[in-house]
Chains A and B, each alone.
Chain A
Amino acid sequence: MRITPDSYRGTNKNNKDLPMKFIFEPWPWYVAGPLIALIMFLLIFVGKQFGMSSNLRTICTLCWADRKADYFDFNWKSQRWNLVVAVGAVIGGFIGAHLLSNGSAVAINPDTISILKGLGFQSAGGSYLPDELFGLDALTDIKSLAILLIGGILIGFGARYAAGCTSGHAISGLSNLQLPSLIAVIGFFIGGLFMVHVLFPLIF
């Protein structure tokens, strides 16, 4: 079961008086961006690269996908490190949500909130993820289940087809001034803008 960050609000009240209280607030872009660059450099300096989607291929190989397609027949042991990073990311998510936050609402633009409420997302502005799609109730709803599954399929297929995702192309690849990454990032935005502006009104 999910422990709601709200249940921590009470315990974290005292943090308001601490000099480090900003840690418990959402981190602004000018803190998060440099930290992401730091993560990329840390990975470079341990001899690896920043990319969070290649582990999907590794997991498929571990599930014997190499018996079905040559794409999965590779030296997966050389990629074990990115599984370790992924496990770390899970634990980091737990720490961030349950130990370093005193609320889960994301303060998005009020204009965005009103558009989302018009689409039926009443939780906009009051939670971290829309309850309508990610709440436990939504898991029993065929439509939201299908949206999550199809969204996932598009992410996995697209990330491997483009040989990278947001971290691998938009951060690592562009940092190395690679043309393929620029093309991929333009693709990310063509797809994302089409989904939000053209398909969302049809889906929701």
Chain B
Amino acid sequence: MKRTLSYFFIGIFFGIVMYKSEAASWFRIYEMFQFQSFHMYGIIGSALIIGIIGVQLIKRNKLKSFFGEPIQIVPKEKGIWQYLYGGIVFGLGWALAGACPGPIYTLIGAGYVSLLVVLAGALLGTFIYGLLQKKLPH
């Protein structure tokens, strides 16, 4: 229960940050791909710099989780094509719908019902990937 509540509150915090930072705004994504603002690059870049330092500290000091368990950061499987092809397809969708998966949820909560169509599409896309997985180059 304590764990479930912690995921829940982290989710709420995430939703607030996505909305208030405007990272959930279609306009900000478009502006980013036009290279006409530093805003999105600043968000991702500053999160990344702090993230790199923090992850290194966690690994070097072998820190434990809040629940006393060792922290395991599982790296992604090695490969090139699935990341490149999948990334390109994702980028096309990110720019078109102007939302990545996190902001889809945030915007539904903000009251934009049309994002339910995007979510339905995302689930359909996930399903199509599941069907085709074994036939795709990875």
Contact = CB atoms under 8 A, between A and B. Distances in A.
A133 to B, nearest CB: 7
Interface string A74-87: 00000001101111
Contacts, number: 511
A186 B100 contact: no
Interface residues of B, number: 114
A30 B52 CA distance: 16
Interface string B63-87: 1011101010111111110111111
Contacts of B90: 154-155, 157-159, 161-162, 165, 184, 187-188, 191
A32 to B, nearest CB: 3
Interface residues of A, number: 129
Main SS class of interface, B? helix
Interface string A38-66: 01111111111100110111011001010
A194 B10 CA distance: 34
B101 A92 contact: no
Contacts of A130: 26-27, 98
Interface of B: 3-4, 6-34, 36-48, 50-52, 54-55, 58, 63, 65-67, 69, 71, 73-80, 82-102, 104-115, 117-131, 133, 136
Given A52-B14, A93-B109, A174-B51, 11 more contacts: A31-B21, A37-B50, A37-B54, A44-B65, A56-B101, A106-B25, A154-B93, A159-B86, A180-B77, A180-B83, A189-B33
Interface of A: 2-3, 26-37, 39-49, 52-53, 55-57, 59-60, 63, 65, 68-72, 81-82, 84-98, 100-101, 106, 108-109, 111-112, 115-116, 124-125, 128-130, 133-136, 138-139, 145, 147-167, 169-181, 183-197, 199-200, 203
